[in-house]
Amino acid sequence: MLDWIKRILQPCICDQQPLFTFKETHDISGSELMRVISSAYPDARIYIADAAYKHVSYDELLRWLKEDSLDQMRWVDNIWDCDNFAVESYCRAHKVVGNLVYGECWGDTPTGYHAFCIAYCDGKIKIIEPQNDDTNDLKKSDYKPDFIKI
């Protein structure tokens, strides 16, 4: 059953080529990014693998989320749920811009332990719920990741 579902989803999953381009990107070093994220989430295990990254404005992030179709996929408990959405969103973001400051996270949220995404935009960390693209009303203090991968 699970293989059948994966075959159906395969055309929608991250191996597709992006049709989106950010208008402008900005540079940030891996060490500066580590400083920013670890100061916001000092108890999280943070994985930053590269020496240099790109980030975009919050408006550009919202424009990409609006154009991306991930939020139109159906949530299926234990098959295609929060962790799948977070990993897929991470993959799609990095297909648009390699080394984009966009990460997948796991941790405590207002709805319990959950997978979600973060981005660095306009000097601030933004929380993203990839299954519905919600970013506007999410408070960073309400999300306490114990794992972050950029």
Q: How far apart are CA 99 and CA 115, in angstroms?
A: 20
Per the domain annotation, does 9 fall within a domain? no
Per the domain annotation, does 129 fall within a domain? yes
Percent of the chain surpassing pLDDT 90: 57
Over residues 86-118, the pLDDT tens digits come to 999 998 898 888 899 999 999 999 989 999 999
Report residue 57: phi and psi, to 5°.
-70, 160
Q: Which band of pLDDT confidence, cut at 50, 70 and 90, is reported for residue 18?
A: low
Whole-angstrom CA distances from 131 to 2, 39, 74, 75, 117 are 20, 27, 8, 7, 10
Per the domain annotation, does 39 fall within a domain? yes
User: In the prediction, which pLDDT does 97 show?
Assistant: 86
Per the domain annotation, does 95 fall within a domain? yes
Q: Read off the pLDDT of each residue in 18-25 and give the average, rounded to a whole number.
A: 83
Per the domain annotation, does 140 fall within a domain? yes
Q: How far apart are CA 86 and CA 106, in angstroms?
A: 9
Number of domains the chain contains: 1
Q: In whole angstroms, what separates CA 101 from the centre of its chain?
A: 9
Q: How far apart are CA 109 and CA 41, in angstroms?
A: 13
Query: Who has greater pLDDT, 130 or 140?
Result: 130
Per the domain annotation, does 51 fall within a domain? yes
Q: Which band of pLDDT confidence, cut at 50, 70 and 90, is reported for residue 2?
A: low
Residue pointed to by tokens 């295609």: 80
Per the domain annotation, does 76 fall within a domain? yes
Q: What is the CATH number of the domain that holds 114?
A: 3.30.460.70
User: In the prediction, which pLDDT does 96 show?
Assistant: 87
Per the domain annotation, does 8 fall within a domain? no
Domain hosting 110: range is 24-149
Q: How far apart are CA 50 and CA 6, in angstroms?
A: 31
Kindly report the average pLDDT of the chain as a whole number.
86
Structure tokens at 55: 């980030």
Over residues 39-89, the pLDDT tens digits come to 999 999 999 989 999 999 999 999 999 988 888 777 767 777 888 889 999
User: In the prediction, which pLDDT does 86 show?
Assistant: 93
